[in-house]
Structure 1
Amino acid sequence: MKNKILNLIVYVSISLLLGLLAGAMASFFGHILLWIGTLRNNHLSVLLPGLVLAGLLIVHVYQKWGRNARAGMSLVFEVAQGHDKKIPLVLLPLIMMTTWLSHLFGASVGREGVAVQMGAAIAQAIEKWTGSAIHRPILIKMGMAAGFAGLFQTPLAASIFAVEVLAVGKFAWKGLPAILLAAFTAAWTSNKLGLEKFQHSLYFPEELPFHQFLLLGLAFGFIGNLFALSLDISKKQANKWLPNPYLRMLIMGVVISALLFFHQGRYTGLGTNLIEASLSGETVYSYDWIIKFLFTVLCLTAGFQGGEVTPLFSIGASSGAFLASLLGFPISLAAGLGYTAVFAAATNTLIAPILIAYEVFGPYHVIESGIVVGIAYILNRKTSIYSQQIP
């Protein structure tokens, strides 16, 4: 009985500490990222031509100081899956600074990669500092959830994402209470430190035909699957044709910068402009999701840092707005469904995307979200944006 009480105290203490640290770090990172996005938008014509130079600096930084950390999300997955590897603490400043640099000069990348890697690195450091007896894979999942929750303030989705994403169709439930506590603490901390949560209420009281939800699920499943497959093929071909990372960044960076400049920065950064336009009924072009899709794949292949998830939200929302016009469907509802379903298909996750729908869009259409997400998820059980995910 005494040992059980001591173990409980250890789990609670580590969860709270991890949540506080991850939440504070997520708030710090998020505030600077928002400021950088505003700065980029105000001085786009000056900053965008420097994208290739920023990319070359990112390559150099990882080549010189971060060789052991270059694996990024793959390394986090391996440790969380129980492999005897360690996440170097240098990963923390590297991923934050290179992501800020990528966003400052206009790369079409996300931010969740930072959140998850940041939380995992903090968890590994806590293990080293405290000599914690918590099983390392559980501790890393606590860090993954805390980082995700701290940045997005969706603690339920973040917790389930950490236990669901490691293997397709399998859930590592062990340690879930500690994971939840770390995630809720991180979300609370970042909120108290002023980082705002993205929320948008979706409520349509009329009944809509089931076949429209079916068609949307099929379309979103195809888009998410195609994104994961395209990213995998693009990275493999780039490594084959341009094995030198400096040359790869030089060539791809020049092309990406020129194309982004041509589009006046509409597809730079996270893609939150497309999300907001899609959900609020503003102008969204039929090709927006395709171009955002292509730029994100190209930027990640070149070596820019940040992640895929927020661009996936953007691709999903803007493709939903386009499909709604074809189906005679409420545009903002289709955008909200696409926001979560494309993410589900690209990451091979089922429950976490449904919880994202609940935490971001409210409880009104959780059943519809479950239907569309479920269809999208079923269509893709092989490819994933995370190469280390166990099939």
Structure 2
Amino acid sequence: MQKILNIQLQILKYILRWDLIILPVAVGIGSMVALFLWLLNLAIHYRFAHPWLLYLLPLAGVSIHFLYKMYGSSAERGNNLIIDEIHEPGAGVPKRMAPLILLTTVITHLFGGSAGREGTAVQIGGSIANFFAGLFRMDLAQRQTLLTAGIAAGFGAVFGTPLTGTVFAMEVLTVGRIQYRAFFPCLIAAFLGDATVAAWHVHHTPYHIDVINTAATYYSYHFWFDPVLLLKVMISSVLFGFASILFEKATHSIKQYSLKLIKTAWLIPVLGGCLIILLTLIIGKPDYLSLGVDAEYPGAVTIVSSFHQGGAHFFSWLWKLVYTAITLGTGFKGGEVTPLFYIGSTLGNTLAVLMDAPVSLFAALGFIAVFSGATKTPIACTIMGMELFGPDHAVLFAVACFIAYLCSGSNGIYSAQRKPGGKLSYLQSFRSK
């Protein structure tokens, strides 16, 4: 009995200790993410009111290049630096990473670059967490845990999805494995980070799946089964996985060939900015610039519009993929995830029309499934579906995320992810029996 009480006392001390550690870290991360979201919204709507700013995008790219050249040092590696630091602590995450990525992401969006915000939030989380780890004089294992919690706080705060942030922070580190050692600190950090953003009165975009009229069979109290709809979801999910491969290959190829062919480094973002301007002039509309959440004009294709019939064009997903690959591949800053949401939701809209399926449901499935394939985080993406769209279609969310994950190739958007046995190792072991 005494042994049991001692164990329970140790657990209680562990919980209280991490509560006290995480509180200032998560509040700091949540506050900086709230500032970032507020500035990002101002920048995007300022460009809406002043569309000529797009023509300064090449100069913005040059300024970003020299900001990182003068102050960036290792911060240039972004999310991959944080993932590497969790796996093999030593180099450290520079304190300047948080303000630098915040500033350069806002610059990218102010002048029309197609990028996201998750990378910024994760880097803010990692930078602030690393600062507090030094302040608290943590050992290597504790520092690893706090950095992971920093990712959870940043991700949960920027999207308003704390459960997703919790699982994403643990799942993104190693393909096919989750280390639960950091679960409690990540959970507390993600919820406190999200609550801090809410306390600053910064709001997230709501999404909604329409009620689906179907003659489906209920196989449990909560979930229903429609075999025809399930088949359509499975076919679409394979295509969602292919879209994530295309995004990863396009982004990495543009970066690789730009560095190989252009010897003067600051000319790379100039070329990228000019290509974005040229594409916009050819297409004749600014739908694929910047974040893609708010509409610049009535009838613009956005993530929100893709949840409605006629809310996306046939190749909207491909245009967004090209715009984002050029933007990120030529040195502009920001995340990949929100563009992946755009690519997935508009592709889902297109597939729903082709398959005569529910548009809002397939937009939601694409939203999470392309993200799953690109980041190799199917569990987190399934949870994101339930947090953003409700639990009614949880089974379909899981099917879409895992099929897209399996069909997304061996590489994701984070090169620092560990791949101990490969995600298909269990299939190889099955064949060997």
Question: Which category describes the TM-score, using the shorter chain as reference length?
Answer: over 0.9
Preserved CA contact (<8 Å) 1:78 1:85? no
Partner of 2:68: 62
CA 1:345–1:243 in structure 2 vs 1: closer, same or farther (change >3 Å)? farther
Instruction: Verify: 1:276 aligned to 2:304, yes or no.
Output: yes
Q: How much has 1:307 moved relative to structure 2?
A: 1.1
Which range moved further: 35-44 or 48-57? 35-44
Match of 2:395 in 1: 367
Tell me how far 1:9 sits from its aligned partner.
Answer: 2.7
Task: Kindly indicate whether the alpha-carbon contact (under 8 Å) linking 1:320 and 1:335 is maintained by their aligned counterparts in 2.
Answer: yes
TM-score by length of 2: 0.87
Give the Cα–Cα distance (whole angstroms) in 1 for the partners of residues 12 and 371 of structure 2.
Answer: 40
Q: How does 1:18-97 map to 2 (within 5 A)?
A: 18-44=25-51, 46-97=52-103
| Structure 1 position 301 matched with structure 2 position 329 | yes
Match of 2:362 in 1: 334
2:133 paired with 1:127: yes
Asked if the contact 2:207/2:304 (under 8 Å) is kept, the reply is no
List per-residue Cα deviations over 1:337-365 (Å, max 9, x = no partner).
00000000111111011011011111111
How many angstroms apart in 1 are the aligned matches of 2:309 and 2:88? 46
Superposed CA deviations along residues 190-215 of structure 1, whole A, max 9, x for unmatched, are: 01211112332324252341211111
1:16-61 Cα distance to aligned partner (Å, 9 max, x none): 22211111111111011111111111111x2000000000000010
Superposition deviation, residue 68 in structure 1:
2.4
Matches within 5 A, 1:244-323: 244-262=264-282, 263-272=284-293, 273=295, 274-323=302-351
- Do 2:30 and 2:153's aligned partners in 1 also have CA atoms closer than 8 Å? yes
Moved over 6 A (4+): none
Give 1 or 2 for the bigger CA radius of gyration.
2
What's the offset of the Cα at 1:152? 0.7
Structure 1 residue 258: Cα displacement: 2.5
Deviates more, 1:18-27 or 1:289-298: 18-27
State which drifts further: 302-311 or 278-287.
Answer: 278-287
Which 10-residue stretch deviates more, 139-148 or 274-283? 274-283
Supply the AA of the counterpart residue of 1:67.
Answer: S
Letter of the 1:9 partner, please give it. Answer: L
* Structure 1 match to 2:426: none
Q: What is the letter of the counterpart of residue 186 of structure 1?
A: G
Superposition deviation, residue 248 in structure 1: 1.1
Three-state SS of the structure 2 residue aligned to 1:118 is helix
User: Does residue 143 of structure 1 match 2:164?
Assistant: no
Q: C-alpha distance in 1, partners of 2:310/2:359?
A: 10
Task: Return the structure number with greater relative CO, CA threshold 8 A, min gap 6.
Answer: 1
- Residues in 2 aligned to 1:104 and 1:258: alpha-carbon distance in whole angstroms: 18
3-state secondary structure, aligned to 2:92: coil
- Superposed CA deviations along residues 161-205 of structure 1, whole A, max 9, x for unmatched, are 000011110111112011100100111110121111233232425
1:213-235 superposed Cα distances (whole Å, 9 cap, x missing partner): 11111111111122112222222
- 1:170 & 1:18 partners in 2: Cα distance? 26
Instruction: Give the partner amino acid of 2:193.
Output: A
CA offset at residue 5 of structure 1?
4.9
Q: Contact 2:341–2:370 (CA<8 Å) still a contact in 1?
A: yes
- Is 1:348 aligned to residue 366 of structure 2? no
- In structure 1, the partner of 2:223 is none
* Residue aligning to 2:176: 169
In the superposition, the TM-score normalised over structure 1's length comes to: 0.96
Between 326-335 and 10-19, the greater mean CA deviation after superposition: 10-19
- Output the CA distance in 1 between the equivalents of 2:38 and 2:381: 25
Counterpart of 1:196 in structure 2 is 203
Pairing partner for 2:410 from 370, 382, 387:
382
What percent identity do the matched residue pairs reach?
A: 32
In the alignment, structure 2 segments of 5+ residues that lack a partner are 1-5, 217-225, 296-301, 420-433
* Alpha-carbon separation, structure 1, partners of 2:30 and 2:60: 28
Alpha-carbon distance in 2 for matches of 1:167, 1:381: 15
Asked if residue 114 in structure 1 is aligned to residue 135 in structure 2, the reply is no
**C-alpha distance in structure 2 between counterparts of 1:25 and 1:57, whole Å:** 23
Deviation at 1:311, TM superposition (A): 0.2
Equivalence map 1:146-161=2 (5 Å): 146-161=153-168
| Corresponding position of 1:182 | 189
Structure 1 runs not aligned, ≥5 long: none
Equivalent residue in structure 1 for 2:255, among 235, 253, 261: 235
Counterpart code for 1:248: I
User: C-alpha root-mean-square deviation of aligned residues, in Å?
Assistant: 1.5
